Chains A and B, each alone.
Chain A
Amino acid sequence: MGELLAIMLFFPLAGAGFQAVWGERIGRRASGLAAAGAIAGSLAAAVAAIWQLGVTPHQISYGSWFAFDGLNVAFSLLYDRVAGLMTTTVTFVALLIHLYSTLYMREDKSFARYFCYLNLFVFFMLVIALADDLIFLFMGWEGVGFCSFALIGFWHGELKNVDAGRKAFLMTRVGDLGYVAALALVVAAFGHASISDLTGRVGSLPTGMATAIDFLFLFAAFGKSAQLPLSSWLPDAMAGPTPVSALIHAATMVTAGVYLLVRLEPLLAIAPDVGATASLIGAATALYGAACALGQRDVKRILAYSTISQVGYMFVAAGCGDVAGAMFHLQAHAFFKSLLFMVAGVMIQAFHEEHDMFRMGQRLRRGLPGLFILFLCGAAALAGLPLTSGYFSKGRTLADALAHPGSPFLLAFVLAAIAAFLTALYVFRMLFVAFFSTPADPAPLVADVALKKMERPLWPLALLALIFGFYNTPEFFGLRPWLDAYLAGTVIPNPPEVEHAERFVGVLDAFMALGGLWLAWIFYKPARRPTAAAAGIFTAGLGLDALYRRALAVPYFRMAAFLWRGVDEHVLNGAAMATASGVLGLSDTLRRVGSGRASASLLTLLAAAAVLLTWLAVSFT
């Protein structure tokens, strides 16, 4: 088992190194295939590992990293069934995205750099998925943040891309303060930072300390998963290439926050306030994301806000303590959201880098019918149309919130349910406007054979988007819930109230989805020739970004400018220069004493003689 995990981690890392050194030399096709091959090897190792995995988790250590003062940090892995699911999902989706990337980046010159970072990202994500030691996990955490920055700002010739990458990095960094603070508390309380040991000894921790640690980890998770209040980096992160958005900001990195909470679930269980906060903020974010998605015109920004919204659902489930439910929605979302992003990538390239969906239309459906089917599958899953994967997974999270005792959870349920309606609304708005309308100002359609080829890796995802739900159906369906059974030994099972709630939620969810579809049809059907509304506060993300800019960035810049001009230049530099010029002035005055006139020298001589003699006279009498 240890060897399989080592192979799984080694392949992407070696791939990244290979790309960095030889990537440019071997040419575009070979580079892409090498990168995809590395991920394929990792996927094979992941499947083999999960095949051999029983109920008992494996703890493997590859050696000590550093140790001082009693703290021992090791490269230790905790491979249980949750980790197994995560690694297979990540490697599977990453492989498809790599294959898609070889076609998407077919005209880009920096392909070696791209594949290097992409492979490196997968490596760091697998570290997060597998790590046992929290400091080792933090290495992966920071690593994905760095790769995300490098890939968002991939086309660094344009400054706004780099700004977007920097914004993402800085905002997740703010969250990471919470991680480091929590890490400090954990080490102070336990003397080490190993998850497996932690979850075993949770009982010995006082509630206040546990609440503090959990809140700090929750804050870090908010940052990484783009939840309120640290969500405004994700829409701007769409400046990167679309496969990057698909991998990082749909399937993997944004789910790292949820995954962290899932791994630390026993720690969350003894601090109920944190769970309530997680669910409530997750639901609020879900509503926020869905509302803002309704105000967007850019296809990628719609999907970005949609991601913010859907990850909120995962937080609702994690906050209720339902690990299986959170993982279920995580996997389903990974499949249908990456599918949708990659479809959006093809749409953008089909219209020659046009992002505005109000300039696309039924020509797209007629020209690329396969693409339309793919989008339909993903959209149905996202909206939660009955019997799709999204229907079952989202229903599960809503049922968790409804069944959990406590008023925060009820409020979370209400918000999440409204968000579900809005989700269906914006998804079908996007479907109708992008694929059915006749725009007043159409963009030119490009006929490129590569576009049809790019659809090929997406069919497995479309299939999964539709049928993955049957993997874990609720009780009243009568089918066996595979995921719950698989995780039965590893996680706390759901209380029976959840199953009762699922019936109610199932019906409600179906109504929401169909209602959203109907309302979207009313507003956006092609006969009405829908035009975009003017950009308003929903387009600007309810002013969150502007608020941060006004409250934080601008004062910081002002203070930096003050410190630069005011303190550094005027005070420090000025002091140094003033000292220099003061000395200069002093020496100038002294210089004039030596005027070169003989009479002055003579007078000085006489004065000196007078002084000397006076002193002599005084001392001798």
Chain B
Amino acid sequence: MNVPLSHVLAVAAALFVIGGVCAVARRSIIMILVGVEFMLTAACLAFVGAALAWGNLDGQAAVIIVMGAAAAEAALGLALLVHGRRGGGTANADDYNRLAG
């Protein structure tokens, strides 16, 4: 196909940035986690594109690893959210500020 690697990387970059904005600008913990997932997916995309460009399967192996880590992290994040919500907490990241100086 006629798609240069730079285009793939550009798409991945755009997806990464959108995920970054979503993680930073949103207050809800769910949305922050969604943003983080976007960013990880963008990285996976870049890996796959590079694997195809260099004819190397290492990139796809990296994708597998990243997905495993992402799954663990999402599960933990949601468990923390549930734990925090118990006993009258909120889902707003700004309210968890007891570590403020």
- Residues of chain A touching chain B, judged by Cβ–Cβ distance below 8 Å, are 591-592, 594-599, 602-603, 605-606, 609
Contacts and interface: CB of A to CB of B under 8 A. Distances in A.
A598 B100 contact: no
A595 B99 CA distance: 8
B12 to A, nearest CB: 14
Most buried by A among B25, B93, B97, B101: B101
A592 B97 CA distance: 12
5 contacts: A594-B100, A597-B93, A597-B97, A599-B32, A609-B20
Contact of B93 (A591, A598, A609): A598
Contacts of A609: 20
A62 to B, nearest CB: 75
Contacts of A591: 101
B32 A602 contact: yes
Q: How large is the interface on B (under 10, 10 to 19, 20 to 34, 35 or more residues)?
A: 10 to 19
Consensus secondary structure, chain A interface: helix
A596 B93 contact: no
Contacts of B100: 594-597
B75 interface: no
B97 A596 contact: yes
A605 B93 CA distance: 16
Nearest to A594: B101
B23 A602 contact: yes
Contacts of B96: 596-598
Contacts of A592: 101
Most buried by A among B32, B93, B98: B93
B6 to A, nearest CB: 14
B24 interface: yes
Contact of B24 (A594, A595, A603): A603
Contacts of A598: 32, 93-94, 96
B27 interface: yes
Contact of A602 (B24, B98, B99, B101): B24
B73 to A, nearest CB: 15
Given A602-B32, A606-B20, A596 B27 contact: no
A598 B97 CA distance: 8
Contacts of B23: 602
Interface in B54-101: 93-94, 96-101
Nearest to A588: B101
A597 B24 contact: no
Contact of B94 (A597, A603, A606): A597
A598 B77 CA distance: 13
A606 B97 contact: no
Interface string B5-36: 00000000000000011011101000010000
Contacts of B93: 597-599
A439 B23 CA distance: 107
A599 to B, nearest CB: 6
Contacts of B21: 606
Contacts of B97: 595-597
Nearest to B95: A597
Nearest to B100: A596
Most buried by A among B21, B24, B93: B24
A596 B24 contact: no
Contacts of A606: 20-21, 24
Nearest to B21: A606
B27 A599 contact: yes
A595 B27 CA distance: 15
A470 to B, nearest CB: 99
A597 B97 CA distance: 5
Which 9 pairs show the lowest CB-CB distances between chains A and B?
Answer: A596-B100, A596-B97, A591-B101, A598-B93, A596-B99, A602-B24, A597-B94, A594-B101, A606-B24
B24 to A, nearest CB: 5
B84 to A, nearest CB: 12
Contacts of B32: 598-599, 602
Nearest to A591: B101
A599 B20 contact: no
Given A598-B93, A606-B20, 16 more contacts: A594-B100, A595-B97, A595-B101, A596-B97, A596-B99, A596-B100, A597-B100, A598-B32, A598-B96, A599-B24, A599-B27, A599-B93, A602-B24, A603-B24, A606-B21, A606-B24
